[in-house]
């Protein structure tokens, strides 16, 4: 009977040793650090890139595609170009502009013309030509955007028979040389105007141009 018990015990020990050596699919591991929690063993093959793996099978020497960062400068340039193609007034309000005329487009201005003396007969079309030429040459300085009060400068000048503008003189001032220079420069830059062959006098007209900021 004792011999039977010994035989049964030996068989049980052998069976347990075999089962202990058999690996399981969900085998768990215990890290060496005692402070770590018990975790499940993870197969590293799960993290392999399937596309790269398949490509490596077909061509082991194929180079991997390198994805470079986007060209930030080109993106910004494209966005600015898109903004410039939109409404100019909205761009100026947002502080985004591509030309100087867009920058000063929001400066409130008013130009007024007065005829002081006529030395020869002229028609209304010529008067409108004078006014249009001078208005188109008004380029206020950037400091005009910071101006918050009404300021005016008056300039008097003479237009000759050949269309030249002479004797440009400042009559009143805004108190700022830069703002005053805008009106003076507009008159001088408009010379020469179209000549008048029918004029009977060398000087044909004397005018006053008043430029007002924040009218």
Q: Where in the chain is the domain with CATH 3.30.2420?
A: 109-213
**Can you tell me whether residue 160 is helix, strand or coil?**
strand
Class of the CATH domain delimited by 109-213: alpha beta
- Considering only CA atoms, which of 111, 119, 88, 93 is closest in space to residue 186? 111
Secondary structure, 3-state, 60-125: CCCCCCCCCCCCHHHHHHHHHHHHHCCCHHHHHHHCCCCCHHHHCCCCCEEEEEEEEEECCCCCHH
Give the model's confidence band at 47: pLDDT under 50 very low, under 70 low, under 90 confident, else very high.
low
Using a 10 angstrom Cβ sphere, with 0-12 exposed, 13-18 middle and 19 or more buried, the burial of residue 204 is buried
Q: Give pLDDT tens digits for 103-117.
A: 566 788 899 999 999
Q: In what helix (H) or strand (E) does residue 186 lie, and over which residues does it extend?
A: helix 177-189
Residue 139 makes CB contacts below 8 A (sequence gap 6+) with 100, 101, 104, 182, 185, 186
Q: Give pLDDT tens digits for 125-172.
A: 999 999 999 999 998 888 888 888 999 999 999 999 999 999 999 999
Give the model's confidence band at 7: pLDDT under 50 very low, under 70 low, under 90 confident, else very high.
confident
Give the N- to C-terminal CA distance of the chain in Å, as an integer.
125
Q: Say what the pTM is.
A: 0.54
State the Cα–Cα distance between residues 121 and 198, nearest whole angstrom: 9
- According to the model, what pLDDT value does residue 155 have? 97
């Amino acid at each position: 009977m004792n011999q039977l018990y010994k035989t049964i015990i030996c068989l049980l020990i052998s069976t347990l040793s075999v089962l202990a050596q058999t690996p399981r699919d969900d085998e768990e591991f215990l890290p060496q650090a005692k402070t770590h929690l018990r975790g499940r063993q993870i197969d590293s093959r799960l993290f392999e890139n399937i596309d790269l793996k398949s490509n490596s099978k077909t061509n082991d020497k194929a180079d991997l595609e390198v994805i470079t960062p986007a060209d930030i400068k080109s993106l910004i340039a494209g966005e600015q170009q898109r903004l410039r193609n939109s409404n100019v007034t909205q761009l100026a309000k947002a502080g985004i502009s591509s030309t100087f005329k867009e920058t000063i487009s929001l400066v409130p201005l008013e130009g007024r013309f007065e005829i002081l003396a006529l030395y020869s007969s002229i028609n209304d079309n010529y008067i409108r030509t004078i006014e249009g030429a001078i208005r188109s040459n008004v380029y206020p300085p950037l400091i005009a955007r910071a101006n918050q009060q009404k300021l005016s400068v008056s300039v008097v000048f003479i237009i000759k028979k050949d269309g030249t503008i002479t004797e440009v003189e400042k009559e009143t001032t805004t108190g700022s040389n830069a703002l005053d220079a805008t009106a003076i420069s507009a008159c001088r830059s408009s010379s020469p105007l179209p000549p008048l062959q029918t004029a009977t006098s060398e000087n044909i007209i004397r005018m006053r141009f008043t430029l007002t900021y924040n009218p």
